[in-house]
């Protein structure tokens, strides 16, 4: 596919958008701009083409192409993201994974990220760092996601307009409008999108309004980058159902019981209105020194009518950070030192829920969270072959909590110890195309606010951070003059004090520390051009595949008289295989196809219930038509082509065996994008 901005104008942008070769690309993970092959870590890349290989409304298919990564959609608008099995503690949302957008932290001081607020049309590339990366990114044992959107400069003034329309099954509609301006010293983008769906289950409709503005100003020694967006998101939450209910009617939402009303009766849903603004300064200080500094502020108004309560949250977040990068003229030596500070203030008010209307006050709580990290890292290259990266950070998280509605309550403080997080990686270039690496990294992840004060309304101040060492070896590179790209990794991660979710009889979550887990596995990725022909009907054939082998299990986990040691890790499939084949016809017509095969998934810590294995077929066809100053791109696709009855996002350890959130049956989508250049 072709990126919205002409890639030839992006002189200072990493090469994320190459489609006709597997030449080396640059990555920025660990603040070191280097070739992907020479990054001593398991770093995966998603370029513009990857992110738009399927429906432009969802990130799920693109992220699930990556070995070790699993993204789920429990219902339209409700995302979960795990890297190497971190879904164990995420009944909803994104936790234990640090997410940045153009160097601005989207993860807050409590460890939560509202990834569903973003629109796919605003993201042009992503880097995924798998495994602990606390030496520079702070808390999190799962990994790090670095989202990118580019604003290049141009010697002449350029204007780019884009209009997009899409429709699909279940009342899906998406509208998009974008305007980009580029000059020699200034570049900006204004992007608007609106997404609506009736949903594929009862009580699963959603709508999302998003407005983004970003700008970049080039001065003599400074580059100032601004990122600001507003999102108004609403989606209904149908809730989990039993296996018998899913087999009889997968469109059902959570049903009423003798003691509790249904999701429809309670009008269960999420309302999220968020405003974000951030400013980043890149100062070229001379003599190989660059200072990157950022500041951001955002506010979220969150509203959640649930089965048992009606919750309001007002969250104010701030972040501040700076890093100094010094490197030698030949780039053989680089030193990075910096800090990051995150702040959160949450006011949480719970009422009874009387058929979707707030009723009697239950609780009124207030919480403050601070998370800080200071770090230093040294990257050295010897003989143009040996790459050594060593770094360490010091980290701490501080909580202050009080139940304001109880006049007798006192302020409770919870502070983690100052945690050092070291990391050492060694990479050796076996030749010009292949490299081997090994690393050792310490990771830790304190309990998030949603875990300390979960939906059951209680405060769990005794929760301890989970922590552990990750040991990893890998081999990656290119073969046959860059016609084949491969990446293999074996990792051994023993997690102590693992945080797992439980459910009470009403279905509300709470969390406990579950001893230790063994999370070791093998990841393999390969991509190859099997045909490259500039003439004829068929011009290009690309095959690719990724395999995740995850035989995770509990090492020690005792609850009462029950011992779960040796059981499979809850919510994590043992095997995931994703394979695809992409075609280019007549130099224009693009056909993307993939098959995602997921093995059965344990749904309880006791391993007495499993979700069945499934195979998900997805296909997209795209055809561009060029006019003098306009390009039209028509596309159409199929999701769940094999019409599987499966759950894409299970509620683990669910009460009354309501584990399943059925995904959409076979469905279709189609649309058009119009681009105008001046």
Per-residue confidence band for 7, with pLDDT thresholds at 50, 70 and 90: very low
Residue boundaries of the structural domains of the chain: 7-677
The reported pLDDT for the residue numbered 8 is 30
Residue pLDDT, tens place only, 339-363 = 999 999 999 999 999 999 999 999 9
Query: Tokens at residue 327, please?
Result: 């490197």
Please give the share of the chain, as a percent, with pLDDT higher than 90: 71
Using pLDDT thresholds of 50, 70 and 90, give the confidence band for residue 678: confident
- Percent share of the chain, pLDDT over 70: 95
Q: What is the pTM of this model?
A: 0.93
- Mean pLDDT within 594-610: 95
Tokens of 600: 């059965």
User: What pLDDT was estimated at residue 26?
Assistant: 82
- Partnered with residue 281 across adjacent β-strands are 224, 293
- The 10s digit of each residue's pLDDT in 627-666 is 878 899 999 999 999 999 999 889 888 888 999 999 999 9
Distance CA 131, CA 141 (A): 6
Would you say 511 and 500 are in contact if contact means Cβ atoms under 8 Å apart? yes
Q: φ, ψ for residue 582 (rounded to 5)? A: -120, 140
- pLDDT value of position 536: 83
Secondary structure (DSSP) of 630-645: EEEEEEEEEESTT---
Ranges assigned E (strand) in 254-332: 269-286, 289-305, 310-327
How high is the pLDDT of residue 481? 86
Indicate if the pLDDT at residue 97 is higher than 70. Answer: yes
Residue 354's contacts (CB-CB under 8 Å, 6 or more residues apart) are none
Strands 97-101 and 143-148: parallel
CATH number of the domain at 7-677, out of 3.40.50.2300, 1.10.4030.10, 2.40.170.20, 3.40.50.300? 2.40.170.20
Asked whether residue 319 carries a pLDDT value surpassing 90, the answer given is yes
- At residue 139, the pLDDT reads 85
pLDDT at 627: 84
Helix, strand or coil, per DSSP, at residue 289: strand
Cβ pair 177, 163 in contact under 8 A: yes
- pLDDT number for residue 14: 39
Is beta strand 553-556 parallel, antiparallel or unpaired with respect to 499-503? unpaired
- What's the pLDDT score for residue 54? 87
Helix (H, G, I), strand (E, B) or coil at 629: coil
Say which range, 215-219, 305-309, 505-509, 532-536, has the weakest mean pLDDT.
505-509
CB of 236 closer than 8 Å to CB of 261: no
Residue 543 has pLDDT above 60, yes or no: yes
Per-residue model confidence (pLDDT) at position 655: 85
- Give CA–CA dist 622/613, Å, rounded: 30
Distance CA 225, CA 242 (A): 49
pLDDT of residue 652: 86
> What CA–CA distance (Å, rounded) separates 467 from 463?
13
293 or 534: which leads in pLDDT: 293
Residue 350's pLDDT is what? Answer: 94
Instruction: Read off the pLDDT band of 333 (50, 70, 90).
Output: very high
User: What pLDDT is recorded for position 507?
Assistant: 62
Residue 330 has pLDDT above 50, yes or no: yes
CB of 186 closer than 8 Å to CB of 155:
no
- Model confidence at 19: pLDDT above 70: no
Q: How confident is the model at residue 471 (pLDDT cuts 50, 70, 90)?
A: very high
| CA gap 133, 117 in Å, rounded | 24
Split at pLDDT 50, 70, 90, the class of 594 is very high
Q: What is the mean pLDDT of residues 12-39?
A: 66
- Collect all residues with Cβ–Cβ distance below 8 Å to 248 and sequence separation of at least 6: none
pLDDT mean over 113-139: 92
Asked if residues 121 and 231 have their Cβ atoms less than 8 Å apart, the reply is no
> Sorting pLDDT into bands at 50, 70 and 90, what band is 561?
confident
Mean pLDDT computed over every residue of the chain? 90
User: What pLDDT digit, counting tens, does each position of 400-415 carry?
Assistant: 999 999 988 899 998 8
497 Rama class: left (phi>0) / alpha (psi -120 to 50) / beta: left
pLDDT value at residue 6: 31
Size (the chain), residues: 678
* pLDDT number for residue 566: 93
**pLDDT value at residue 185:** 95
Residues paired with 270 in a beta bridge: 235
């Amino acid at each position: 596919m072709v990126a919205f901005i002409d890639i030839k104008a992006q002189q200072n942008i990493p090469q994320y958008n190459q489609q006709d070769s597997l030449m080396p690309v640059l990555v920025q993970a660990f603040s070191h701009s280097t070739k992907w092959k020479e990054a001593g870590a398991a770093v995966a890349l998603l370029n513009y083409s990857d992110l738009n290989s399927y429906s432009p409304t969802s990130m799920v298919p693109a992220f699930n192409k990556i070995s070790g990564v699993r993204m789920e959609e429990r219902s339209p608008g409700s995302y979960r993201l795990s890297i190497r099995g971190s879904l164990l503690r995420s009944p909803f949302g994104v936790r234990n994974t640090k997410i940045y957008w153009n160097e601005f932290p989207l993860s807050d001081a409590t460890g939560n990220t509202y990834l569903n607020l973003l629109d796919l049309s605003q993201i042009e590339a992503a880097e995924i760092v798998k495994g602990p990366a606390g030496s520079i990114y702070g808390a999190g044992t799962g990994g790090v996601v670095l989202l990118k959107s580019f604003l290049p400069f141009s010697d002449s003034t350029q204007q780019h307009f884009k209009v997009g329309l899409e429709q699909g099954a279940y009342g899906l509609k998406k509208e998009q409008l974008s305007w980009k301006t580029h000059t020699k010293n200034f570049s900006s983008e204004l992007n608007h999108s609106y997404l609506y769906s009736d949903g594929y289950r009862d009580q699963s409709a959603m709508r999302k309004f998003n407005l983004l503005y970003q700008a970049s100003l080039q001065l003599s020694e400074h580059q100032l980058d601004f990122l600001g967006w507003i999102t108004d998101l609403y989606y209904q939450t149908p809730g989990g159902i039993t296996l018998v209910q899913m087999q009889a009617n997968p469109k059902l939402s959570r049903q009423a019981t003798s003691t509790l009303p249904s999701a429809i009766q309670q009008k269960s849903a999420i309302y999220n209105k968020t405003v974000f603004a951030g400013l980043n300064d890149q100062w070229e200080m001379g003599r190989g020194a660059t200072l990157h500094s950022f500041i951001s502020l955002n506010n979220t108004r969150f509203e959640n009518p649930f089965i048992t309560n009606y919750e309001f949250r007002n969250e104010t977040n701030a972040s501040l950070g700076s890093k100094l990068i010094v490197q030698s003229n030949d780039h053989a030596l680089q030193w990075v030192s910096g800090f990051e500070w995150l702040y959160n203030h949450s006011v949480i008010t719970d009422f009874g829920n009387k058929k979707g209307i707030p009723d009697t006050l239950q609780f009124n709580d207030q919480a403050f969270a601070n998370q800080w990290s200071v770090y230093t890292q040294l990257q050295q290259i010897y003989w143009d072959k040996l790459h050594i990266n060593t770094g360490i950070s010091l980290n701490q998280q501080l909580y202050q909590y009080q139940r304001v509605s109880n006049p007798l309550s006192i302020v409770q403080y919870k502070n983690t110890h100052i945690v050092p997080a070291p990391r050492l990686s060694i990479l050796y270039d076996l030749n010009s195309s292949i490299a081997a690496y090994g690393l050792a990294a310490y990771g830790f992840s304190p309990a998030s606010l949603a875990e300390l004060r979960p939906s059951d309304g209680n405060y769990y101040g005794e929760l301890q951070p989970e922590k552990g060492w990750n040991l990893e070896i890998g081999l990656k590179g290119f073969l046959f003059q860059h016609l084949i790209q491969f990446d293999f990794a074996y990792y051994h991660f023993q997690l102590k004090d693992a945080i797992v979710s439980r459910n009470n009889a009403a279905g509300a979550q709470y969390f406990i520390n579950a001893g230790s887990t063994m999370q070791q596995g093998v990841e393999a990725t390969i991509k190859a051009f099997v045909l490259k022909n500039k003439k004829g009907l068929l011009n290009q054939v690309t095959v690719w595949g990724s395999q995740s082998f995850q035989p995770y299990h509990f090492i020690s986990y005792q609850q009462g008289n029950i011992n779960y040691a040796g059981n499979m890790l809850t919510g994590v499939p043992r095997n995931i295989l994703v394979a695809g084949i992409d075609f280019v016809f007549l130099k224009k017509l693009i056909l993307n196809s993939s098959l995602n095969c997921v093995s059965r998934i344990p749904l309880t810590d006791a391993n007495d219930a499993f979700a069945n294995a499934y195979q998900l077929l997805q296909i997209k066809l795209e055809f561009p038509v060029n006019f003098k100053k306009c390009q039209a791109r028509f596309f159409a696709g199929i999701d769940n082509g094999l019409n599987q009855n499966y759950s894409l996002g299970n509620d683990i350890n669910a009460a009354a065996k309501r584990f399943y959130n059925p995904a959409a049956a076979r469905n279709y989508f189609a649309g058009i994008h119009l681009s105008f250049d001046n």
